[in-house]
Structures are given as structure tokens and as C-alpha cells.
């Protein structure tokens, strides 16, 4: 069965779901998006994703032409229409059709797109053995240029980081901020375990406020761990006992090597494993 894609209140067959080449989402990356998971027929932390979407839209002065309640309803309708119990949702709001100039005021109708699809998961071996990542030379966007807190359709900063990582044979790459501090990976947040404390860069390190990051912080505190959002350097990563990444698609994925240095004992650590188990229980219960 072909997928049904939502555009502005209507469901289209995948082949018929089309957006104008004059849409500023395409011409300028002018728009915002969310990537969410569906577990057992329920959208994971939908309200939080919508809150982040509205904040991203507000930051680029884009008015979403629906209320959060209406958009939540339409997300659920699209998921149901496609009969997806476990999968991935891409929610996109573009500035809409305009002229060939930059002027966003000439774009009258923002376009809302909802794609509910099956998810291509990372290979199981990544979770069993852990990932190797590298620090790339592309720094994360300067917060005063384009805040990493905005989940905008302009992802070139991350894509350039990803290309550099792939060049080094890695599927994810660590990006530093303009001050040389650890920020995040190209599509995932980063955590370290050091002396039984969980460490992760604070939002003002210039990162996306990951929904999975937030869930993992909550789970870790429930588990009795001390969680600290602190500025981190590559040195902290190299001497950490454990390292893992979080994201809606990846969930929790262990990291065992960074810049050719072995992290901990080179195997996914016990605290990472415990948090993976807790996250699994949270999402699949």
C-alpha cells in the first residue's frame, strides 16, 4: 500500500504529494521541522515536539497556520491513515510559495507537511558493539548566526559535518562550538559517564534541545544518577568512562571510540546499558 502524505489538511498518495519549486523551504531552507517516533501506535512526546516546533517557528518569525491542538490531531490522523504502529514522523512547515527574492513577506501560505513512514533503524551491530566517531573541523553554527536551538530546514552545517565524518569512515561525527567546547553530533546529542555522573553539554553550548536528551536526563535522575549539564572539552570525552548519543531515530547508541581513542574499556558501558533498558521500557511499555 502506498503512503498517504498530509499537505495542508489533505492526504495525498505519495506520488501525488508535491510542493512548489517556488516554495522558500526549497529555495532558501526557510522553514522548520520535527522528527518524531511512533511506538505501539502512540507518538512519543508529541506535545514536546510541537512546543519545539512552535519555538523554532517563532524564532524565524514564521506563523504556523494551525493551533498546536489542530496539528496534533492531524499528526495522529496521518499516522492512523497509514496504519503505522511503529515508525517515524517527519513534520515540516515551510515559508510557502514566494518570489525568487528572499522576502518572506511575499510568502502568504506556509505549507504544513506530515510524513508518517516506517523507520530505517541503525544496524543492530551499532548497539551491540558501539560506534566509532570523530571530531570534525566544521564547527556547529555560531548561535548568533543561526541558533542550533532552531530546528530549521537549513541543515547544511550538520550535513557538512556528516560528510567529514563519513570521509573518516564514521556514521556520526562530533561537532565543537565556536569556543572549542563539545556541542553535539550532526543529528544526535552526546552524553558522557564520568565517575558515575552523567555529563552532557548545556543548551547554551549551542545545541538542539533534544527530546531524547530530555527523556534520558529524566530516566538517569530516576535511576539515582547525578546529571550535570556542563561545558565539556574533547579532553573530557577522551577520559570518560562511557559515552553515548541520543536522538529520536538512534534512541541511545553507545560510542566506544572517539578520534581513534578508546573510551572506557572499549565496550558499551553498564550505565549506558542500564539507560538503554530504561528507555526501552519507557517507549515500549
249 binding ligand PXG? (CB under 6 A): yes
Query: Which residue number is nearest to ligand PXG in terms of Cβ?
Result: 187
What are the residues whose beta carbons fall under 8 Å from the beta carbon of 81, sequence distance 6 or more? 4, 11, 116
Q: Closest separation between CB of residue 213 and ligand PXG, Å?
A: 6
Cβ atoms of 12 and 4 closer than 8 Å = yes
Pick from 26, 238, 200: which is nearest to 111 by CA?
Answer: 26
Q: Is 161 in the site for ligand PXG (CB under 6 A)?
A: no
Residue 177 lies near ligand PXG (rule: CB under 6 A): no
Residue 251 makes contact with ligand PXG by CB under 6 A: no
For the question of residue 277 being annotated catalytic, the response is: no
Verify binding: residue 187, ligand PXG, rule CB under 6 A.
yes
> Which residue number, 106 or 283, has a Cβ lying nearer to ligand PXG?
283
In angstroms, the Cα distances linking 43 to 78, 163, 267 are 11, 31, 32
Q: Which residue has the cell 512548489?
A: 20
CB of residue 212 to ligand PXG, shortest distance in Å: 3
Hey, which residues between 200 and 219 contact ligand PXG (CB under 6 A)? 208, 210-213
Least distance between ligand PXG and beta carbon 206 (Å)? 10
59 scored as a contact of ligand PXG (CB under 6 A): no
Which residues, other chains included, contact 247 with Cβ-Cβ below 8 Å and sequence gap of 6+? 187, 188, 189, 210, 212
DSSP β-bridge partners for residue 138: none
Closest to ligand PXG by CB, 82 vs 158, is 158
- What gap in Å lies between CA 264 and CA 267, rounded to an integer? 7
Q: Is 248 in the site for ligand PXG (CB under 6 A)?
A: yes
Q: Are 35 and 113 in contact, with CB atoms under 8 Å apart?
A: no
Contact pattern from residue 35 through residue 54 relative to ligand PXG, giving x for each residue in contact according to CB under 6 A and a dash for the rest: x-------------------
Q: Which of 58, 151, 234, 257 is catalytic?
A: 151
> For residues 101 and 226, what is the distance between their CA atoms, to the nearest angstrom?
51
Q: Report d(CA 231, CA 182) in Å as an integer.
A: 7
Question: 30 vs 188, which CB is nearer to ligand PXG?
Answer: 188
By CB under 6 A, tell whether 188 contacts ligand PXG: yes
Q: Which residues are catalytic?
A: 151
Residues that bind ligand PXG (CB under 6 A): 35, 158, 184, 187-189, 208, 210-213, 246-249
Amino acid at each position: 500500500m502506498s503512503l498517504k502524505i498530509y499537505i495542508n489538511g489533505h492526504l495525498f498518495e505519495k506520488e501525488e504529494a508535491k510542493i512548489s519549486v517556488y516554495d522558500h523551504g526549497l529555495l532558501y531552507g526557510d522553514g522548520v521541522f520535527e522528527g518524531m517516533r511512533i511506538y505501539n501506535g502512540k507518538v512519543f512526546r508529541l506535545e514536546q515536539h510541537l512546543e519545539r516546533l512552535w519555538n523554532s517557528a517563532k524564532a524565524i518569525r514564521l506563523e504556523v497556520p494551525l493551533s498546536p491542538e489542530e496539528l496534533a490531531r492531524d499528526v495522529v490522523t496521518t499516522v492512523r491513515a497509514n496504519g503505522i504502529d511503529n515508525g517515524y514522523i517527519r513534520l515540516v512547515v515551510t515559508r510557502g510559495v514566494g518570489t525568487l527574492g528572499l522576502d518572506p513577506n511575499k510568502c502568504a501560505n506556509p505549507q504544513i507537511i506530515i510524513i508518517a513512514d516506517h523507520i530505517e533503524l541503525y544496524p543492530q551491530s551499532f548497539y551491540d558493539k558501539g560506534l566509532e566517531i570523530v571530531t570534525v573541523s566544521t564547527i556547529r553554527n555560531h548561535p548568533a548566526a543561526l541558533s542550533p536551538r532552531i530546528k530549521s530546514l537549513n541543515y547544511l552545517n550538520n550535513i557538512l559535518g556528516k560528510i567529514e565524518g563519513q570521509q573518516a569512515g564514521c556514521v556520526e561525527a562530533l561537532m565543537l562550538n565556536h569556543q572549542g567546547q563539545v556541542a553535539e553530533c550532526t543529528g544526535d546529542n552526546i552524553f558522557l559517564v564520568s565517575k558515575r555522573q552523567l555529563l552532557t553539554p548545556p543548551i547554551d553550548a549551542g545545541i538542539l534541545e533534544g527530546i531524547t536528551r530530555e527523556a534520558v536526563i529524566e530516566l538517569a535522575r530516576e535511576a539515582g544518577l547525578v546529571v550535570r549539564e556542563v561545558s565539556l572539552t574533547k579532553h573530557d570525552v577522551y577520559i570518560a568512562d562511557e559515552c553515548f548519543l541520543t536522538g529520536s531515530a538512534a534512541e541511545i547508541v553507545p560510542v566506544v571510540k572517539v578520534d581513534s581513542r578508546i573510551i572506557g574499556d572499549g565496550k558499551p558501558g553498564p550505565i549506558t546499558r542500564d539507560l538503554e533498558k530504561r528507555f526501552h521500557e519507557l517507549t515500549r511499555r
